[in-house]
Structure 1
Amino acid sequence: MSGQELFGYASAVVVGLVIGLAGGGGSILTVPIFVYVFHIPTVLATTYSLFVVGSTSLIGSVNHIWKKRVDLRVTLAFALPSFVSVYLSRRFLVPALPDPLVQYAQFSLSKSDAILYFFSIVMIIAARAMIHNDQPEQGEAADGRPRYRSLALDGLAVGLLTGTIGAGGGFLIVPMLVLLAGLPVHRAVATSVFIIAINSFVGFLGDIHHTNLNWNFLVPFTGLSIIGIFFGMYFARFVAPDKLKKGFGWFVLTVAFYMIIREIL
């Protein structure tokens, strides 16, 4: 095993650590790791990301459910539309995208490059939210009444994002649960982990019909990520969330610009 591969597997632990600490963000790391460290094709990397993040988040959500931190009613309102959106996008939309996606004169943009550019933009948006701590303390549901219609529409949008680029969308889900469902931040994080788990598995199910998977690689990587989430849930009790998010935000921003430069050059 090369040093680069060892670094990639070590990064799997960091993926789980981030999910355990922040309630999301793991997919922001998995896709670049798969593409640039293990040289896995982009579309397949998003499939692997869905499985790894889904499995890791599911383990984390069991602990949150046991401690009654997950709001199941809000989960249903947000997640059911999201499930439909993520499954249809993985099952039909992504395979139907032409390759190259854009062809004009001498310019050609492949499907893989387009997904990576879109992924980089999402990473920049997520990094900005983490650096500036764009976390509402209350919002439309400050009265304690969840806005179920708005939650459902946001669920559709997050499902499309998850299905297209393999990102769980935790950086979007947590603020929406605070803003539209009136959940305290710690319950929003716990509920987000559960939604990400099921969302990711639904997207993964949309892929297995037309994808050959390397389980000998995927299972060990996922296992290391699961180990990481236990560390993350433990350290979450001691680490200041604001400082953690800001530091991770700068890291994500650096990776996003690296991806853009790498694709341009």
Structure 2
Amino acid sequence: MMPDIVSSSLATGSGGLVGLILGLVGGGGSILAVPLLTYVVGVSSPHVALGTSALAVSVSAAGNLIPQARAGHVKWRCAATFSLAGVAGAFAGAAAAKAVDGQKLLALFGVVMLVVGGLMLRERHGGGDPNVRLTARTAPRLLPWLLGIGFGVGLFSGFFGIGGGFLIVPGLILATGMPLTSAIGTSLVAVSAFGAATATSYAVSGQIDWPLAGLFILGGVLGGLAGARLGQRLAGRKRALTVTFAGLVILVGLYVVARGALPLLGANT
């Protein structure tokens, strides 16, 4: 069933906000997708919100991957290995999440938002080996790390229906020693793959609102274009923008924890 005009406008606007933030700060905006779909658009089922969010995140990451690939910032063999392991984890995580009560899942998601907000307040630094490659010679050293960390991050991503870029980027750096610019570009392959795996799991269970997902993605594309242009003008203030957004994520996380926990507290009284 197609959403009404109000829901359509809210879904498109919410997607636009996420895209705008992604364009401005370069990542992390997708963490707002679930609370926006739940509390602004009005998706009643937390599981449907997670499934719909995962689809939108996957499409958004795939779109953002193109300019990163053209710039040569993607380590494709590392990305493929990390993603294959993570997809297995994402399917397992999504299956586990569907068995958890929706309100408990929202409360846990709010806790994740608090952690993400805190991590975003930390400054990222460059460094690393730009020439790192996954080859027959380096495989004994790199493969165990890529497979192990990839599976763990995918499991987390699938459980919470988010891209997990805030874990993928440091995970890739830890596993391979690649520089930050390469880790950011390479992470988009994994974010797209994890989101697609999670969305597929929810789609099989009929827990994706396809019309809302399409509107959310449309808004995200338009917002991303606007955010990229605005981000160029505000390039000198990117750190301030990131700190501001981190504060917003923490505030929304507190709200989500409260909203998710109140029904649980009421059920126990």
In the superposition, the TM-score normalised over structure 1's length comes to 0.83
Candidates 231, 241, 245, aligned match of 1:248:
245
Cα distance change, pair 84–23 in 1 and its aligned pair in 2 (3 A): farther
Instruction: Give yes or no for contact 1:77–1:152 (8 Å, CA) kept in 2.
Output: yes
1:221-260 pair list within 5 angstroms: 221-238=216-233, 239=235, 240-260=237-257
| SS at structure 1 position matched to 2:162 | coil
Task: Assess, with a 3 A threshold, how the Cα gap between structure 1 residues 118 and 263 changes in structure 2: closer, same or farther.
Answer: closer
Q: CA shift at 1:215, angstroms?
A: 2.6
Corresponding residue number in structure 2 for 1:42: 46
SS at match of 1:13: helix
User: In the aligned structure 1, how far is the partner of 2:157 from the partner of 2:87?
Assistant: 10
| Mean CA deviation greater in 7-16 or 40-49 | 7-16
RMSD: 2.6
When structure 1 is superposed on structure 2, of 36-45 and 148-157 the one drifting more is 148-157
Code of the residue aligned with 2:113 in structure 1: it is M
Structure 1 position 148 matched with structure 2 position 148: no
Task: Name 1:124's counterpart in structure 2.
Answer: 114
Aligned partner of 1:215 in structure 2 is: 210
Which residue in the other structure is 1:10 paired with?
13
Question: Gaps (5+ residues) in structure 2?
Answer: 135-141, 263-269
Q: Residues 60 and 193 of structure 1 are in contact (CA less than 8 Å); yes or no, is this contact kept in structure 2?
A: yes
**2:181 aligned to which of 164, 186, 195:** 186
Hey, what's the Cα distance between the residues in 2 that align with 1:264 and 1:208?
27
Q: How far apart are 1:114 and its partner, in Å?
A: 1.4
1:25 maps to 2:20: no
Distance in 2 of aligned mates of 1:16 and 1:84:
28
Deviation of residue 246 (structure 1)?
1.4
Task: Tell me, in whole angstroms, the C-alpha distance in 2 between the residues paired with 1:218 and 1:44.
Answer: 10
Q: What TM-score do the two structures reach when normalised by structure 2?
A: 0.82
Contact (CA 8 Å) 1:145, 1:182: kept in 2 or not?
Answer: no
What is the 5 A alignment of 1:18-97? 18-40=21-43, 41-90=45-94, 92-95=95-98, 97=99
Seen in structure 2, the aligned counterparts of structure 1 residues 178 and 213 have a Cα distance that, compared at 3 Å, is closer
Structure with greater helix share of residues: 2
Quote the offset at 1:7 in angstroms: 4.9
